[in-house]
Structure 1
Amino acid sequence: MAQQDTDVFVRLERFYDALPRPYARAEDFGGLVLFVREGEGWPYYARPRIGADTPSAADITAVRQRQRELGLPEAFEWVHETTPDLLAVARSAGLDVLLAPLLTLDPAALVPDLPVQGGAIRFLDPSAPEFAADLAASRAVAQLGFGAPAAPVSPLEGALLTLPAGPAERDAATGALSEALVRSQQERSASGDYYTAVVDSPEGILATGAVMRSDDVAEVAGVATLPSARRRGYASQLTAALARRSLADGVSLVFLSAGDDDVARLYTKVGFRRIGTACIGEPAAAPL
């Protein structure tokens, strides 16, 4: 492994460890640390403790028990190149592990800002009166986008082919957010450590994505497109816009994790290159 990539992995470990700490308490379980969010928001994960030995199966079992006690998802995340022996341990402890391509941005290869088909990219303004409504709509888009296959699935014989979710389904899925959650997102956005971008159109928000920042490292995450609006280049253009703003804000390392190799290839066209594998573990599905 090249020295440059080794330095990148060290910076990524610091990022993953630092990002939750202002918003969560940390509980140590042997070689793992579990981040428990304080207040509302997406739950955090458990991951290897910096400087600790490879977590054991007993460590994983203890964390899962604690997550169940707290009503949290049994979620684990780590970088394979940094903790290579954990993959076998996690599987032996009953976890299914998604191997997600891990990519970093080559700033010199970042594509230029281009017009957006049928809409425009807009960063949510935490001081705007519509911030709460926009945030709620963007979450509904993410829910529908991540909940539907990226490619059409051939229906079984005799089954009805349903249309992909569109603006009507987005509006139906948009729920009111609590004042505490909106205020928390406003504070994070105002600090520059978190911001959301959307593709806006006459039909409303069609795609969304976000950046989470710690020091001079930023992760592009949550990029999703309303299923009815796919194949218009929204995901790649949003990713490029988020990366461009991160660089303008002084970030020197921008990275993301792709769901699979096909999605990773989309990001390489924007200016990212694969450097490794992000592991995402969760309990194995019970056999039927």
Structure 2
Amino acid sequence: MHKDRFARLERFYDAVPRDAARPEQHGALVLFVRDGTGWPFYARPRLDTTTSPALADVAAVRERQRELGLPEAFEWVHETTPELLAVARSAGLSVLEAPLMVLDPAALPEAATLSSVPVRLLDPTDEDFAAAVAARRAVAAVGFSAAGTDRGPAGPAERDAALTGLDVAALDEEATRVADGRRLSALAGTPGDGALASGMAMRVGDVAEIAGVATLPAARRRGLGAAVTAALAHALLAAGTGLVFLSAGSEEIARVYLRVGFRRIGTACIAEPAPVVP
């Protein structure tokens, strides 16, 4: 059963960038290069190759990423391409081994049982859609700047300081993808404090990944991240999604997702250059 799931995940990972980026093949790796502005994509093992990525492939991709001004980022599933872990580390990359988790729909609770703070799914027809998208991104920026689940001082003021305007093309892209079901966005918050937690999901066919779940540090330990995740998962299942998955940033964060009905099936590897030690 896991083998089928891993094959579906590989097709998903390969498909997600293709409507916004062009693929460049470098040996057994493919680098997705976005046309225009937007979040830069990764390099990963090619879907159509039977050979394992070699050190020369990693070096070629990194050279191309530097040439294009892109982050030297690689992603893969360890169970599908186990040889790449040692190759990446020998190339001097730092590899995060993130718990790869799949939803058990029978174990999914209602969002309202996880937090008293309401969660809303963003709708392109809402008058405040642009402001809500900007808030989702600002919450994520503040939340991920202080990784983990510990409470901290950063709250609504820091979120508001992180707000940035969206250009027309970025907003149109978001609205189109939400409208056709390829993306879901969610916010948890109160009228007084505004958005406190956010998250999104990307969907291709009957497979979807929940990603970018973040909570302002000052609002943590209130079940907000779990509630956002549950709300997204319920919406995905209602839309006919057969496989819902995510990658947790750590074992500690994975415990939050266990409460929402996700179960670990493997390891998602995310590699980038190791930090330079002075």
TM-score, scaled to structure 1 = 0.93
Per-residue deviation, 1:265: 1.4
Any idea what the Cα deviations from partners look like across 1:12-65, whole Å, max 9, x if unmatched?
000000111111100000000000112222111000001321111111111111
Q: Percent identity?
A: 59
What is the alpha-carbon distance in structure 2 between the residues aligned to residue 187 and residue 91 of structure 1?
Answer: 39
What is the alpha-carbon distance in structure 1 between the residues aligned to residue 125 and residue 63 of structure 2?
Answer: 41
Specify which of 253, 274, 277 is matched with residue 243 of structure 2. 253
Specify which of 202, 215, 222 is matched with residue 212 of structure 2. 222
1:135 alignment partner AA: V
What is the alpha-carbon distance in structure 2 between the residues aligned to residue 112 and residue 173 of structure 1?
Answer: 31
What is the alpha-carbon distance in structure 2 between the residues aligned to residue 111 and residue 56 of structure 1?
Answer: 43
Per-residue deviation, 1:118: 5.3
What is the alpha-carbon distance in structure 2 between the residues aligned to residue 82 and residue 115 of structure 1?
Answer: 36
Pairwise CA RMSD: 1.4
1:213 alignment partner AA: R
Structure 1 alignment gaps of length 5 or more: 154-162
Aligned to 1:55: 53
- Residue 178 (1) aligns with residue 175 (2): no
What is the alpha-carbon distance in structure 1 between the residues aligned to residue 56 and residue 144 of structure 2?
Answer: 32
Specify which of 9, 19, 23 is matched with residue 22 of structure 1. 19
Alpha-carbon distance change, 99 to 116 in structure 1, aligned in 2, over 3 angstroms? closer
Aligned to 2:139: 141
Specify which of 97, 100, 105 is matched with residue 99 of structure 1. 97
Greater Cα shift, 256-265 or 37-46: 37-46
What is the alpha-carbon distance in structure 1 between the residues aligned to residue 201 and residue 263 of structure 2?
Answer: 18
**Does structure 2 retain, via aligned residues, the 8 Å contact 1:77–1:279?**
yes
What is the alpha-carbon distance in structure 1 between the residues aligned to residue 84 and residue 147 of structure 2?
Answer: 29
Aligned to 2:227: 237
Greater Cα shift, 125-134 or 201-210: 125-134
What is the alpha-carbon distance in structure 2 between the residues aligned to residue 141 and residue 122 of structure 1?
Answer: 15
**Does structure 2 retain, via aligned residues, the 8 Å contact 1:118–1:201?**
no
2:70 alignment partner AA: L
What is the alpha-carbon distance in structure 1 between the residues aligned to residue 122 and residue 108 of structure 2?
Answer: 22
Per-residue deviation, 1:85: 0.6
- Residue 276 (1) aligns with residue 266 (2): yes
Aligned to 1:10: 7
Per-residue deviation, 1:200: 2.3
What is the alpha-carbon distance in structure 2 between the residues aligned to residue 177 and residue 30 of structure 1?
Answer: 36
What is the alpha-carbon distance in structure 2 between the residues aligned to residue 152 and residue 61 of structure 1?
Answer: 37
Moved over 3 A (4+): 115-118
1:122 alignment partner AA: R
What is the alpha-carbon distance in structure 2 between the residues aligned to residue 137 and residue 48 of structure 1?
Answer: 34
Specify which of 165, 187, 200 is matched with residue 198 of structure 1. 187
SS where residue 72 of structure 2 aligns? Answer: coil
**Does structure 1 retain, via aligned residues, the 8 Å contact 2:202–2:210?**
yes
Alpha-carbon distance change, 235 to 151 in structure 1, aligned in 2, over 3 angstroms? closer
2:26 alignment partner AA: F
2:158 alignment partner AA: E
Structure 2 alignment gaps of length 5 or more: none
What is the alpha-carbon distance in structure 1 between the residues aligned to residue 123 and residue 149 of structure 2?
Answer: 32
